[in-house]
Amino acid sequence: MSTATREIHLASRPTGWPGPENFRLVETTLEDPADGQVLVRTLVMSVDPYMRGRMNDVKSYVPPFQVDKPLEGGAVGEVVASAADGFAPGDLVLHNYGWREHVLADAKALRKVETPAGLNPSVFLGALGGVGLTAYVGLFDIAAFKEGDTVFVSGAAGAVGSLVGQFAKLRGAKRVIGSAGSAEKVAYLTDELGFDAAFNYRDGDVREQLKAAAPEGIDVYFDNVGGDHLEAAIASLNLYGRIAVCGAISQYNSTEPTPAPRNLALVIGKRLTIRGFIVSDHGDRMKPMLAEVGGWLTEGKIRFNETTVHGLENAPQAFLDMMRGANTGKMLVELS
Amino acid sequence: MSTATREIHLASRPTGWPGPENFRLVETTLEDPADGQVLVRTLVMSVDPYMRGRMNDVKSYVPPFQVDKPLEGGAVGEVVASAADGFAPGDLVLHNYGWREHVLADAKALRKVETPAGLNPSVFLGALGGVGLTAYVGLFDIAAFKEGDTVFVSGAAGAVGSLVGQFAKLRGAKRVIGSAGSAEKVAYLTDELGFDAAFNYRDGDVREQLKAAAPEGIDVYFDNVGGDHLEAAIASLNLYGRIAVCGAISQYNSTEPTPAPRNLALVIGKRLTIRGFIVSDHGDRMKPMLAEVGGWLTEGKIRFNETTVHGLENAPQAFLDMMRGANTGKMLVELS
């Protein structure tokens, strides 16, 4: 008995900003699981900034998406049928075959999960998934955060950024400052997430706004955007300051290289460290992250907002909206 | 009995490239040492790129030089008269009161040294001084060099650069590449210092020349110059590559910020670390440096060239020539 289902394929590679024309909704049919395979129905899938990079045909830290093939990404699903030991219908599984309503997957590519009491399965795409691990590793390992540090995070209302700021506060930051792209997001950071200060980078010069928000300078910068934010952070960093470079969303859609930061020579006199990282190198930190962040979540100490869109057919627009900053917190697509 | 002597003062602060008009030769008279003081006659003094920064009236990692006061810098001298315990005429001392023929110094500001057999006192201004420590700390600590790494160093014919390349080879580098500003310097690197490859950055695009010299990429970049060299290094660095930022001589005389590197976002996918440092933070590494590098020197395993100018009156021109790259190895001024 085969299963009729739908997938989103990459129709063409975008140049600059992607648009709906780069995506295609495709109807297809899946066979029953062969030996070692599991048929999974997707419950919820993730759209993330890094996917923009995989749409280009360039060698990167993950292979590019293929034109006329389904896109990929983190998703949580429910087992429908199984021909693999250890998986039974109804099991909740985490996998990387997002952008499709069902997938016929090798059991080795699935991880069984159990949702902690009071939380939704989507938590594994957010605070207890790659997003949480990115914030955790970037702040605590790469940027070597320590109690008493003043922390600045850009893209602070986004999924990673909102966790970075809260993690820093929970571990004893002196002051946490965030930047975001609207007055609503700025209010969300200070009023709901407990940031000490926040500013709208569209309101004026980032360097001046950061100096005003952190008159005594910053010790850690968690960089989600690159560009003028990075330059502003270098200007405000104190001696021995550290930058974790997580993303450069301001440049993902550039066709020209970005000529910044112009003040990089300050890394010498200020003894700064700038370190890029990719979360997939740090799987060994998943266990301590789950323990510490899982604890904070069940104690209600962390707010993790989700913007949820419904239906696979709306996934491309959800991705495009996320790239333009329409979401607060994690952008998700529910398929059931 | 007072001592007639001469000093070089900062006549005015340079804007952009300094010139002879920024220096002034001043005749003066020193009293005999008071209690705790020592009168030292300078034998040899150092001129270094970092001094350019101290000529600006800006807060930096060392305070600025004062107009109408003597310049400062590393020097080795001989005690002439002493009113301090532990110092006697004829003792060799290292101090930071360069740019003058004599100095009346507090004994606490002097370090007694003994020249190893076969070496000149100037070794304490070079391979066994701040220069050697800069190369040692930058390569082994900041850039975390490990056996088998391919290393690129800019300004490689300079005092620090020439040591970096040799230290890397002695500790088991797979390949060492240097850049310099003349064909003679390039030949010196490969023919005399044992670099595996070298190029003249004036011959063409630094990025292309580096790619040709390091077809399998580099693991460590020791940055003495900044600018296009830094951008080229980022392009050639392999995964988990490390950059020690020691100097940005290409920018010291700029009045405008330098819009580079344009490819900084590569730090993410390549997981690069860029770290600036100042050698004076790392005094604790002097002992292991003296042991290891002193051993290499007495075994004749290290070449350390000096370009020596004679006479205090020629010190300003020696500094200006050094900033333009006229020296090979360490630039020194002998005063006796």
Query: Which residues of B touch chain A, with CB atoms under 8 Å apart?
Result: 53, 60-61, 226, 230, 245-248, 251, 257-278, 281
Do residues B98 and B72 lie in contact, with contact meaning Cβ atoms separated by under 8 Å?
yes
Q: Where are the alpha helices (DSSP H) in chain A?
A: 50-54, 130-136, 159-170, 183-187, 206-213, 227-236, 266-269, 286-298, 315-323
Q: Are strands B218-223 and B150-153 parallel, antiparallel or unpaired?
A: parallel
- In CATH, the number for domain B3-126+304-334 is 3.90.180.10
How many residues can be counted in chain B?
A: 336
Would you tell me which CATH number, out of the four given (3.40.190.10, 3.40.50.720, 3.30.70.1450, 3.30.70.330), belongs to the domain A130-280? 3.40.50.720
Of residues B248, B264, B267, nearest to A268 (C-beta): B248
Crossing angle of helices A286-298 and A159-170, rounded to 10°: 80
The predicted structure's pLDDT at residue A58: 79
* CB atoms A277 and B271 under 8 Å: yes
CATH architecture of A3-126+305-334: Alpha-Beta Complex (3.90)
How many CB atoms are closer than 10 A to CB A313?
A: 13
Q: What is the pLDDT of residue A75?
A: 96
The pLDDT tens digits for B30-63 are: 999 999 999 999 999 999 988 998 999 876 667 8
Quote the pLDDT of residue B326: 80
Q: Among B248, B265, B278, whose Cβ lies nearest the Cβ of A265?
A: B248
Q: Which two tokens stand for residue A261?
A: 């930061």
Instruction: Taking residues B129-156, report their average pLDDT.
Output: 96
Domain ranges of chain B: 3-126+304-334, 133-278
d(CA B19, CA A47): 58
Nearest CA in chain A to B248: A265
**A265 contacts B246? CB cut-off 8 A:** no
| Residue B334: per-residue pLDDT | 96
* Cα(A196)–Cα(A203) distance, integer angstroms: 18
Task: List the pLDDT tens digit at each of the 336 positions of chain A.
Answer: 799 999 999 999 999 999 999 999 999 999 999 999 999 999 999 999 889 989 998 766 678 999 999 999 999 999 999 999 999 999 999 999 999 999 999 999 999 988 887 889 999 999 999 899 999 999 999 999 999 999 999 999 988 999 999 999 999 999 999 999 999 999 999 999 999 999 999 999 999 999 999 999 999 999 998 889 999 999 999 999 999 999 765 555 555 555 568 888 899 989 999 999 999 899 899 999 999 999 999 899 999 988 999 999 999 999 999 998 887 778 999 997
Residue in B246, B257, B281 nearest the CB of A262? B257
Largest CA distance in chain A: 68
- Alpha-carbon distance A31 to nearest alpha carbon in chain B (angstroms): 37
Contacts of A277 in chain B (CB under 8 A): 268, 271
Total H helices, total E strands in chain B: 9, 15
Q: Distance (Å) from the C-alpha of residue A216 to the closest C-alpha of chain B?
A: 16
Nearest to B269 among A60, A261, A275 (CB): A60
pLDDT at residue B253 tops 60: no
Do the Cβ atoms of A267 and B257 come within 8 Å? no
Averaged pLDDT of chain B:
92
Query: Residue A258's pLDDT is what?
Result: 59
Least confident span in B140-149, B165-174, B244-253, B305-314: B244-253
CB contact (8 A) between residue B261 and residue A264: yes
Cβ–Cβ gap B265/A258 under 8 Å: yes
Kindly report the nearest CA distance between residue A191 and chain B, in angstroms: 31
Interchain CB distance below 8 Å, A271 and B259 = no
Report the pLDDT value the prediction gives residue A256, as an integer from 0 to 100.
54
Domains B3-126+304-334 and B133-278 share a fold: no
Chain B residue with Cα closest to A62: B269
Please give the structure tokens belonging to residue A62: 């993950």
Compare CB distances from A278 to B60, B268, B275 and report the shortest one's residue.
B268
From chain A, which residues contact B within 8 Å (Cβ)? Answer: 60-61, 226, 230, 245-248, 251, 257-278, 281
Nearest to B245 among A60, A247, A268 (CB): A268
The tally of CA atoms less than 13 A away on the side-chain side of residue B231 is 19
Residues in chain B with CB shorter than 8 Å from the CB of A258 are 262, 264-265
| Residue B255 scores a pLDDT above 60 | no
Provide the shortest C-alpha distance from residue A91 to chain B (in Å): 34
Q: What is the pLDDT of residues B69-122, one digit of tens each?
A: 999 999 999 999 999 999 999 999 999 999 999 999 999 999 998 888 788 999
Structure tokens at A132: 């949480």
pLDDT, residue A29, reads 97
**CATH 3.40.50.720 for domain B133-278:** yes
